[in-house]
A and B are shown apart, each in its own frame.
Chain A
Amino acid sequence: MFLTLQPNDKRPVYQQIVDGVKTLIARNGLREGMTLPSVRQVAGDLGINLNTVAVAYRQLQDEGFVTVRHGAGAVISSRTPHPIDEAELCQSLRIALTELILAGKTSQEIEETVRRELALLQQTRSCNTEKGGAQ
C-alpha cells in the first residue's frame, strides 16, 4: 500500500499525508484494524521531520480515522460514517470548482471529471473489498 507525494503539490506535507491516508480509507485499501507505520519510520523513509508526520497522525486521530495506542502505533479506526460539516464540505468543493473554472474547464467537462473520479473511486473500493474478502 503506497501513498504518493507530488513535488508540485501546494498543500503542506502533513496535509498530503492526511489526504493520502483518507483516500486509501475511502478506497478500502486501508481497512479497520490495519496499522500505519510508526511516525519515526515514515519520517525516516521520506526524509522529513518527525513533527510533520506527528502532526499528520494527530489530525487523522482528531478526525477519528485512526486510534493511536501506546505500543501498538496508529491503527485505522472502525468505519463509522465520518460526520462532516455541510458548510465546510461546500467550501472545499467551491475551492476545487473555482480552480477548475479558472483552468478554463466548462461545466460539462467538470461534471464529466467528477463522474469519472467517482466511478474510479467506487471501482477501486469494490476491488479492494473483494481482495479483502478473499484474504
Chain B
Amino acid sequence: MIAPTDFEVMVLVTALVVLSLVYSLVKFAWKQPLQNGPGYFLGIEVPAGFYDGPGKRWLTGYRAILVALHLALAVALALCFAFKRWDLIPLWCGGFALVYVPALFTLNLWTRHKLGARPPVRAVALSLESRRLGDYISWPIETLYAVIIAACWWLLLRRGLAIDWLPPLQMTWAALILPGKIALVRSGAPLPAERAEEHYRYQDAMRRNAIRALNAWGWLMLVTLCGFPLRLIWPPASLPALVWIFLAVFTAVFLCMMIVIYRGMRLAATMGRNLLPAGSWMTPFRRVTRQMNRFYLIWCAIWVGGILVLNIYSLCR
C-alpha cells in the first residue's frame, strides 16, 4: 500500500470543500432572501407586490454578489493549483470564510438600512427559563477534548524544536471554541409577545444547532491536530495504512459537520417559516438583531483575528 501524496490529500480536501460550498449555494444561499416567505426579503418585511417591482432588482443584486464571491473563490483556487501552491489551500478556505461572511453581513445591514429602516415596535416577551451551561455543553466531552489537545502537544513537545510548530498551533487555535459556545448559551434575542412560546423554541433550537455545528468544527480541527504527532511517530512511508485511516476519519468528521450544518439550516427554514424574523421588528428598547451578545462578538473577533494572523504569518515567513 502506498501513502497518498500531499497533492492528493489537498485534492481530497478541496473537493470536499467545493462540493459542500456548491451544495449550500444551490440549496440554501440562493433562496435565502425568500426564506420567510414573499412578505420578507432577507428577514426584512417588504410591502405586498415587492417581488413584482423593485424586489426583482434586489434579488438579482443579491444573487450577483453570491456568484461574484464564488467566482472569486474559483479563480483563487485555480491559481493555487496552477502555481502548485498546495500550502495555500488552508488559507484559501479561511480566506473565503473571511470574505464571504462579512460580505453577506454588510449586504444584510445595507438591505436593512434601505428596506427596513423603521420596523414596527411590538410588545416583547421575556422567558423566565434559566439557561444553564450544563444544559447545552457536555463537560465530560469538553474534558476529553482538552485531554486530546494536551496529549497531542505533549507528543509534539517530546520531539523538541525540530518540527514546524505553526500548523499545529493554527489547528489548536481553531479548535479553541469553548468560549464561543459559552457566549452562544448566554446570547439571546428578544421574543415577540405573539406566539412567544414558538419563538422561544425556535431560538433555542437555533442556539443548540449553532453549538452542535461548533462542536463538529472543533472535532474536525482536533482530528487534524492529531495528524501531526501521528505523522511524527509513524511517518507515512513506514505505515501508509495509517494515512488512509486518518483520511477516512477526517472525511467522516467533515461529512458529519456538513450534515449538522445542513440539518440546522433546514430546521431553521422549517421552524422559522411562519415566525417573525429577527430584524423585522423593534422592542420598546432596541432593534432586534440576531442573537449575538457583546461577549460573542468579542470572542468571534479574537478567534477569527487569531486565525487570520497565523495564516498571514504562514504565508509571509
Partner-B contacts on A (CB < 8 A): 1-7, 9, 13, 17, 20-21, 24, 30, 35-38, 40-42, 44-48, 73
Partner of B130 from the list A5, A9, A38 (CB cut-off 8 Å) is A38
Is B122 part of the binding interface, using a Cβ–Cβ cutoff of 8 Å? yes
Q: SS class of chain B's interface: helix, strand, loop or mixed?
A: loop
Is B174 part of the binding interface, using a Cβ–Cβ cutoff of 8 Å? no
Contacts of A46 in B (CB 8 A): 124, 126, 190, 283, 285
Contact A5 B124, CB 8 Å, known A13-B285, A45-B189, A46-B283:
yes
Most chain A beta-carbon contacts within 10 A, residue among B130, B190, B197, B286: B130
Contacts of A20 in B (CB 8 A): 126
The CA-CA distance from A4 to B194 in the complex, in Å, is 10
Most chain A beta-carbon contacts within 10 A, residue among B123, B131, B186, B284: B284
Whether the Cβ atoms of A40 and B186 lie closer than 8 Å is yes
Whether the Cβ atoms of B130 and A45 lie closer than 8 Å is no
Place the interface of chain B in its size category.
20 to 34
Least distance between B44 CB and chain A CB atoms (Å): 19
Contact A44 B125, CB 8 Å, known A2-B197, A73-B130:
no
Whether the Cβ atoms of A37 and B285 lie closer than 8 Å is no
The CA-CA distance from A40 to B189 in the complex, in Å, is 13
The CA-CA distance from A30 to B122 in the complex, in Å, is 25
Most chain B beta-carbon contacts within 10 A, residue among A3, A30, A44, A73: A44
Cross-chain pairs A/B with CB under 8 angstroms, 25 sampled: A1-B128, A2-B128, A2-B197, A2-B200, A4-B123, A4-B125, A4-B126, A4-B196, A5-B125, A5-B284, A6-B193, A7-B121, A7-B283, A9-B284, A13-B284, A36-B130, A37-B127, A37-B131, A41-B130, A44-B293, A45-B126, A45-B127, A47-B190, A47-B288, A73-B130
